[in-house]
Amino acid sequence: MIDDGTGLFTIGELARSTGLTVRTIRYWSDEGVLTPVTRSAGGYRLYDAGSAARLELIRTLRELGLGLDDVRKVLAGDRTVAEVAAAHVVALDAQISTLKVTRAVLSSVARRGSTAEEMTLMNKLARLSAAERRRIMEEFVEEMFHGLDLVDPDIRERMRNTAVNLPDDPTPEQVDAWVELAEMVQDPEFRAQMRRAAEFNHADRGPGTPAGASMWFAKRVVELVGRAREKGVAPESPEADKVLRELLGDADRAAVLERITASHNVRIARWRELLGILKDQPVRAFEEEFGWVAAALRAHPGR
């Protein structure tokens, strides 16, 4: 404090009393967040006890990560500390989420020994915003069902629910799965496969067909084929033809084979597996059971 009875401080004295540097205090003064109460005859900035208290508040806010604009608003009374803190929590959460994705990408690169090109692609896809990632998936599902009003509503809803995103704290395996999934849904050949499966579902249903009928058939396949496989019935055996008759009745077996091939193949099975990895819930797609039916249909093409 200046020994003149005014109770004022120079920047140097303020620095010594607060532990801050003269340079920092001068910078905050230049930026308008710590205004001197007056100047000395020699032009030096002078501060009072209120300035010292204000300086402590500025330091606290800065240590909490607030920028000078927000500090200015708090000091001016335009925003409360609570409001600014809440906004910064949101911003920090976003930064933390980004850092977690970056960590997972780097872990995946280290584990896989990825090339620079692969790492660039992985980082680009994984760092897309949540909204952009969801848009990619939603556009894929929209294209798959566009104009197919008779598609089983349960199937449509299940597909919409697969518009998955990266978890908040993804594992390297989930980053790999998301990248592979994003590449798949942007592959014209895969999109055509999924569209074809949807078209078959649309063609097989009438206006009065109840929702969930497609799922009922899948459950029937699992039930009958599971029982046959437990008994050791091979798809090529005569007993397999009996299973097909029980399952399909007089349906056109060639048409059924075409539909099963369209909806149960290696790429679609991989799609379902990737969804399971992202949701951290292993997906049972019953590919073995449908594969058995396909093999039996090829071995017994007649009705």
- For the stretch 154-200, pLDDT in tens is 888 878 776 566 777 778 788 788 888 888 888 999 999 999 988 98
User: Does position 32 have pLDDT exceeding 70, yes or no?
Assistant: yes
HEC string of the chain equals: CCCCCCCCEEHHHHHHHHCCCHHHHHHHHHCCCCCCCEECCCCCEEECHHHHHHHHHHHHHHHCCCCHHHHHHHHHCCCCHHHHHHHHHHHHHHHHHHHHHHHHHHHHHHHHCCCHHHHHHHHHHHCCCHHHHHHHHHHHHHHHHCCCCCCCHHHHHHHHCCCCCCCCCCCHHHHHHHHHHHHHHCCHHHHHHHHHHHHHHHHCCCCCCCCCHHHHHHHHHHHHHHHHHHCCCCCCCHHHHHHHHHHHCCCCHHHHHHHHHHHCCHHHHHHHHHHHHHHCCCCCCCHHHHHHHHHHHHHCCCC
Average pLDDT in the 109-127 region? Answer: 69
- Report the alpha-carbon distance of residue 293 to residue 240 in Å, rounded: 9
pLDDT of residue 287: 82
pLDDT tens, position by position, 56-103: 888 888 887 778 888 888 888 877 777 777 777 777 777 777 677 777
Whether pTM > 0.75 for this model: the answer is no
pLDDT of residue 2: 46
Candidate from 60-69, 244-253, 257-266 with smallest mean pLDDT: 60-69
Average pLDDT in the 283-292 region? Answer: 82
Q: How confident is the model at residue 125 (pLDDT cuts 50, 70, 90)?
A: low
- Mean pLDDT highest for which of 78-92, 100-114, 206-220? 206-220
